[in-house]
Structure 1
């Protein structure tokens, strides 16, 4: 654990620890020690189209909350290696793998991860899931969090309200209520046009409040979105009017660009849970029509507590097909980016694809990774813009696709 956390620190800590910037960086890494994402915030539908997964593909991906790892199984890849430095995310993914393997049916799986607030989930854990867990994962879930709650109890009280992002969303709801706005109003809209009306008349004015303006100007306020201090300025540069305009634009996309009934990211942001409705929008791995495929293919997933680049360094050349970096590169130094891309170039098969997201709009690689490495890859700029526009989570500035030449 110490080694893994040191790697996170080395990526984020770029200033003296006693400087203002250094203190922010250390606060950020401390915040990321526990569970960050109970649900991953990258759209797997967009991912799977961009990755063009085929039955012979071996995918290497950062695990995060695990929703996309399991959802990729619906595309029938040969294998998925999921890696993560965060011990809580490793435990969460191992719990998910065991639950898919052992829970008796789709109803039980959906109750556990779709509803995630039923008292019977603890009994299901004890009967079906616990016997399949390694000792480290079992100790994590049966242990207590910083305020004394048993972690497995989160599945009886809505696990999606927990974690760093869950806390950020909860704080946003409380802040809105100070101004007599219920963010869940968006979910009551009967059309996309009505969603826009609610956004423009109810949500957008909050960004003009004096306290909200001050709060957004504090880099630490965005830790819950996974934005490290080094990327705060880059994010603010996406709009001439600064960070407030950027965040307002991202929220506008989430509230207005997609029908909220078909967007489980909006359901989580504005309602703090998946909708309780027949055929509700949920990640592909939780959809009933995909249940059998996910269960039958679950043994194709390998979960590692490891650094992405270190894992690639252990592999033979030309052995992997797809790479999913989420937004991890936003944390990295130029040297770390160069090392990572050197390993992906070495291990990539012809036609391999790399998919990642950035908090800011532009791809961050030119000028930071040597041309000798980047010239091996084709940046699909037009497709990347299209995928960005269609990403229902709406919190990222850019979705970027690179394809190995030759």
Structure 2
């Protein structure tokens, strides 16, 4: 779908646009160019999706690919198929290399080293010996492509993968800026409990607010947004017990911290057996759905894609969702907004066939450990 920058974006919208880089097509060459890696991981908490979607063995799932981790996590519920759809071929290549690592590396430890810390020199050998020959032609070309220094892109798995995406780099700049203001995010994240963590965060912000540069930086919407999300994160969850801390701080996973669903050893066997149920599609989700028959899909994960769509595009997307959805099917989506501006339009067009519960939506939002999105919504098809 061809999206255009709004002509009268206010500061908050602009801040959201910079934090969600796909909102500014004019910056595509730097932020989300056709071959750019935007997200190296998913900001979706799979446990929240499991709670919402109630995935069962045999279900058919469609998801936006994005950072890929959530698509892999769904396989632990043994659906019949997980369709991962994206218009960015590089994001699909990320999902494919993660899937092939799980499928073809010799054991869980090798998978963990490749996809967990993702910074070990042996990962280059792992890629060459076990993964490269199993990649599709499109994905192989992406991972073999070289940067300005002549290094193949698969070197990301030797050089801290989770610092290589465009969004990772932006958040790293936020971390550097916070340090400049005297806000030690690492120290805050090392708090032993939630009370201590809140006190450290409040104390750091109080000290920073008195500095000359703080007032200038506080007027930058994109940094306001990241700081707001990290503050919310510190208010709700103990960082030591939350693997999303690694993504916010650019740290590698620690064995003492719970791992993402697809990296947990208890899920390794079922993931390895189910990986062939994952199907990748380089196509717009609406166009993808037009290729499917009526009442064939049980669960949909739209991420925040609707933030970027026009009212007409949202209507057409839901026409296809309504047609392809089984009775009782569920759709979960997120937004950067607390109250998405498209929601009234959506409600007016789908309320006859779909319903939502505001209390459940709030419960899902409060349960999500990433604190990345502004809201979460679950819709279920009426039976």
State TM-score, norm by structure 2.
Answer: 0.90
For residue 63 of structure 1, the aligned residue among 56, 62, 65 is 65
What is the CA–CA distance in structure 2 between the aligned matches of 1:177 and 1:248, rounded to whole Å?
Answer: 12
For residue 328 of structure 1, the aligned residue among 298, 305, 308 is 305
Aligned to 2:11: none
Q: For structure 1, which segment, 53-62 or 28-37, has the greater mean C-alpha deviation from structure 2 after superposition?
A: 28-37
Aligned to 2:253: 275
| Residue 25 of structure 2 corresponds to residue 26 of structure 1 | yes
Report the CA distance between 1:248 and its aligned residue: 4.3
Aligned to 1:316: 293
For residue 11 of structure 1, the aligned residue among 3, 19, 33 is 3
Aligned to 1:226: none
| Residue 281 of structure 2 corresponds to residue 304 of structure 1 | yes
For residue 86 of structure 2, the aligned residue among 77, 84, 87 is 84
Q: Say which SS state the counterpart of residue 3 (structure 2) adopts.
A: helix
For residue 235 of structure 2, the aligned residue among 243, 248, 256 is 256
Report the CA distance between 1:218 and its aligned residue: 4.7
Tell me, which stretches of 5 or more residues in structure 1 are unaligned? Answer: 1-6, 223-243
Q: Is the 8 A contact 2:182 2:208 kept in 1?
A: no
* Deviations, residues 1-46 of structure 1 (Å, cap 9, x unaligned): xxxxxx3xx2244449xxxx99983334331121111011011110
Q: Aligned-residue CA RMSD in angstroms? A: 2.3
* Deviations, residues 364-402 of structure 1 (Å, cap 9, x unaligned): 444323724332110121111001011111021111100
1:146-185 equivalence runs, <5 A = 148-185=150-187
What is the CA–CA distance in structure 2 between the aligned matches of 1:375 and 1:210, rounded to whole Å?
Answer: 54
Aligned to 2:113: 111
* Deviations, residues 68-99 of structure 1 (Å, cap 9, x unaligned): 00011112212100001112101111111211
Aligned to 2:262: 285
Q: Is the 8 A contact 1:84 1:306 kept in 2?
A: yes
Report the CA distance between 1:207 and its aligned residue: 6.2
| Residue 373 of structure 2 corresponds to residue 396 of structure 1 | yes
* Deviations, residues 154-191 of structure 1 (Å, cap 9, x unaligned): 11110101111110121012112212333111222111
Report the CA distance between 1:206 and its aligned residue: 4.0
Aligned to 1:355: 332
Q: Say which SS state the counterpart of residue 186 (structure 2) adopts.
A: helix
What is the CA–CA distance in structure 2 between the aligned matches of 1:397 and 1:328, rounded to whole Å?
Answer: 13
Alpha carbons of structure 1 residues 380 and 165: separation in structure 2 relative to 1, 3 Å? same
Q: Is the 8 A contact 2:3 2:25 kept in 1?
A: no
Tell me, which stretches of 5 or more residues in structure 2 are unaligned? Answer: 9-13
Q: Say which SS state the counterpart of residue 60 (structure 1) adopts.
A: strand
Q: Is the 8 A contact 1:379 1:402 kept in 2?
A: yes
What is the CA–CA distance in structure 1 between the aligned matches of 2:183 and 2:89, rounded to whole Å?
Answer: 37
Detail structure 1 runs of 4+ shifted over 6 Å in the superposition. 21-24
Alpha carbons of structure 1 residues 215 and 329: separation in structure 2 relative to 1, 3 Å? farther
Report the CA distance between 1:149 and its aligned residue: 3.8
Q: For structure 1, which segment, 312-321 or 144-153, has the greater mean C-alpha deviation from structure 2 after superposition?
A: 144-153
Aligned to 2:138: 136
Report the CA distance between 1:209 and its aligned residue: 5.3
State TM-score, norm by structure 1.
Answer: 0.85
Alpha carbons of structure 1 residues 312 and 213: separation in structure 2 relative to 1, 3 Å? farther
Q: Is the 8 A contact 2:191 2:240 kept in 1?
A: no
* Deviations, residues 201-232 of structure 1 (Å, cap 9, x unaligned): 1146546756455446456x47xxxxxxxxxx
Q: Say which SS state the counterpart of residue 355 (structure 1) adopts.
A: strand
Aligned to 2:314: 337
Q: Say which SS state the counterpart of residue 321 (structure 1) adopts.
A: strand
